[in-house]
Amino acid sequence: MPPCTLCDLPTGDDPHTAPDVDGEFCCRGCLAVARSLGDAQGDDGIDPGLDEVEERRPDAEPGDEFDGETAFLHVDGMHCATCESFLEMTAGEQPGVAAAEASYATDTIRVDYDPDAVGADELPERLSVAGYSASHRADPDSEGDDAVVRFLIGGGFFGMMAMLWYAVFLYPTYFGYDPFLDLGGITGLYLFTQIWVFASIVLFYTGYPILRGAYVSLRARQPNMDLLVSLAAVSSYSYSTLAMFLGRTDLYFDVTIAVILVVTAGNHYESLIKRRATGALSELTTATGREVRTEAGETVAADAVDPGDRLLVRPGERVPFDGTIVEGAAAVDEALVTGESLPATKREGDAVRGGTVVTDAPVVVAVGEDAESTLDTLVRMLWEIQSSRSGIQRLVDKLATVFVPLVVAVAVLAAGATLALGAPPSEAALVGLTVLIVSCPCALGLASPLAVAAGIRDAARRGIVIVSDAVFEEATDVDTVVLDKTGTLTDGEMRLLGTETDGADPETVRDRAAALERASIHPIAEAIVAGVTSRGAGRDREEDAGRPPAATDGGASVATPAEPSPAAADVTVTDRGVFGRIDGDEVVVGHRSLFEGDAWAVPESLDGAGTKAREAGRVPVYVGWDGAVRGMLVVGDEVRDGWEAVVEDLAADGRRVVVLTGDSPAAARQFEAHPAIDETFAGVPPEAKAETVRRLTATERVAMVGDGSNDAPALAAADIGVSVASGTDLAVDAADAVLLEDRLSAVPELFAVTRGTNRRLKQNLGWALVYNAIAVPMAVSGVLNPLFAAAAMATSSLLVVSNSARTVYKDE
């Protein structure tokens, strides 16, 4: 049986094909995607399947086998593309490691290793180097408050002591006042030594993360912002140390302290804002389990299950592994895994996916050949994509790749020219160091963290959590927005949407249906009961207020019953409906097939209404008694308020809008018909969603918005992943931004905030570069003094802080 050309799932005995599309497909959804997007992933257009990827190295040629294992580690401390290169290089140097691929955007590194040479438990320790902290991806270590301790204790205390000495003994001399102490004697040397000690603590203790980043950038040969900041801090420290031993009093230790403290404070503020925002996600829980129940009711570890084992799954529990139902029948909620909004009835012999939820009756499942869960497969797919998704090079790091070599060249030329003009080597060295000192003012170090923090802050005020900084630079270039249907465009909750009757009283039809459905725990039954109950509560409130009750869906008046819902007797629940006796009548509620034959009369109007409901992706539930169908209830999920305005806003910004869903084509038809939606892919299985997004990203910059675990790999594969927080934590884990409120209008707001933040970042960098345009020539000419350097840095930093404090986006 050949696998699906798009998603590698089995195609079955009757694969879907088309003369205009190469390959065989497992479903019409995959065929539609392949027809629309074509080949976009190499020679054959297909990415290697998950199993194949796990068997060979990422850089291996086709056919090369890697007989080891793959581990996914969470790494704290990565913050740029340079970190990725350094960790990949470090991992590659470890014995037993065949290959590694890191992503700072997702704090993930994938390691292919030989378990005979290195154990899985050893990998985190071996990769926890140079201040990075690695842990297994399934159980990442929480970040500590080490940066806060460094800043408050190391930087705050000793930095304030050093600046106090400057304010009392050195700064007055820059204004022409006589010093309080003999700065050229032993007393001055004692004072300078104290300042040197304080500055050393600030530089090497508080500034350790910055220095580490600079070291990493040099090892990886990729200049970044840390290297630029370190150049200024270390240069001013070296200059001042040399000048102190030469008996000079123009010391720049205050520049070292200011640069380190201000940049550390900016980074800490950004982290603090981000932690406050992401703290709102802490209550989301995982959906995977560690234990399962055997057919006999015994609880065992999931790792102890073998193919063919029979497991008991009770109502409300998740199917632990892919398999086949061998006993019982139940409605299975597949929305988490497949995106299908309506529950599917599964009977003996039907296949079920691991991670789906049994809702209304216990079943016994025989574990499939691989003893694997579709949900676990989605988790591995997510980690696979996240580890291979390199973070974009931030704008400030791009600037550093040009600015660092340029500044170093100017410093060398200035020192060389000074030496050529006859100055002593010590003076020439001081001129060169002065250029390096002024090249990176605090403003340049603050430009990115303060702009990002402002964006995170403003997004949080709108119920949007920014998880990855890459959002601010990626989102502005997004060409296409892919929207999941179930749980994103719709609310994903089953509810009673309407009532159709053929002469019967609509209220009686609903009440009788609810009276029988109370005996069932099927999701559709619960939706009917909840809908009728809420209508009754609303009617009671209206009557209490002296208002007449509202009309029904069909336009007939509502006959307010004198009593609550009628009592049902002799109730029998089956997998297709419910039977019972109400007020002496034999009442049947359920599937259309229950009313076939000569014993039942089904009005054509209700049959037509049922067909119309099914075509809209909803469920018709028929209600009958006395040999005739009296009415029909329509159950389904509702579209979110304002969805049309959202897609129109996205389209108005020049973005393509695509709907991608695992639901049926009928359920997606209303979106396909909207003029602002460019394309709709329906019936796409979860394994194919990520491949669909990959093909889109081959030619476009793509943002994906989704909520279910089935969306997680697609969210990670997109350039920007946006998750609804009411969805699963797997989707949240894959996302770059999370919408905390069930408010779809937050999607256009996210793009507006990121656009404003990106604009603010460029403004901040502009202020910093203006400073450099003035200060560097002054340093080269030798007219710069410590007072001007301190004042200029303070002014430029104040401008950046003030600019970042403004709201980046205001509602029109």
Which residues are marked as active site? 484
> How distant is the alpha carbon of residue 160 from its chain centre?
40
Q: What is the C-alpha separation between 591 and 342, in angstroms, rounded?
A: 14
Query: Please, what is the Cα angle at 574 between 569 and 578, to 5 degrees?
Result: 40
CA terminus-to-terminus distance, the chain: 57
Decide if 616 contacts 666 (C-beta within 8 A): yes
Helix, strand or coil for residue 606? helix
With residue 628 as reference, give the H or E element that holds it: strand 628-636
Burial 568-603 (b: 16+ CB within 10 A, else e): beebebebebbbbebeeeebbbbbbebbeeeeeebb
Q: What is the C-alpha separation between 67 and 151, in angstroms, rounded?
A: 47
Class of residue 288 by CB neighbours under 10 A (exposed 0-12, middle 13-18, buried 19+): middle
- Among 282, 266, 265, which Cα is nearest to 453's? 266
With residue 25 as reference, give the H or E element that holds it: strand 21-25
Residue 512 tokens read as 């009788």
- Among 112, 148, 157, 108, which Cα is nearest to 132's? 108
Those residues with Cβ within 8 angstroms of residue 670's Cβ, 6 or more apart along the chain or in another chain = 616, 639
Helix, strand or coil for residue 302? helix
How far CA 33 is from CA of 50, 358, 439, 661, 682, in Å, comes to: 19, 30, 52, 11, 9
With residue 346 as reference, give the H or E element that holds it: strand 344-346
Helix, strand or coil for residue 295? coil
> How distant is the alpha carbon of residue 606 from its chain centre?
45
Those residues with Cβ within 8 angstroms of residue 128's Cβ, 6 or more apart along the chain or in another chain = 134
Residue 109 tokens read as 């590194």
How far CA 286 is from CA of 272, 330, 736, in Å, comes to: 25, 24, 18
Q: Max CA-CA distance within the chain?
A: 116
Q: What is the C-alpha separation between 435 and 416, in angstroms, rounded?
A: 13
Q: What is the C-alpha separation between 229 and 213, in angstroms, rounded?
A: 10
Q: What is the C-alpha separation between 71 and 383, in angstroms, rounded?
A: 10
Residue 775 tokens read as 């200060």
How far CA 224 is from CA of 75, 402, 471, in Å, comes to: 19, 10, 19
Q: What is the C-alpha separation between 786 and 240, in angstroms, rounded?
A: 11
Which residue type, as a one-letter code, is found at position 476?
T
Decide if 619 contacts 635 (C-beta within 8 A): yes
Decide if 402 contacts 771 (C-beta within 8 A): no
Helix, strand or coil for residue 546? coil
Q: How many CB atoms lie within 10 A of CB 807?
A: 12
How far CA 486 is from CA of 28, 677, 732, in Å, comes to: 18, 16, 16
Q: How many CB atoms lie within 10 A of CB 509?
A: 27
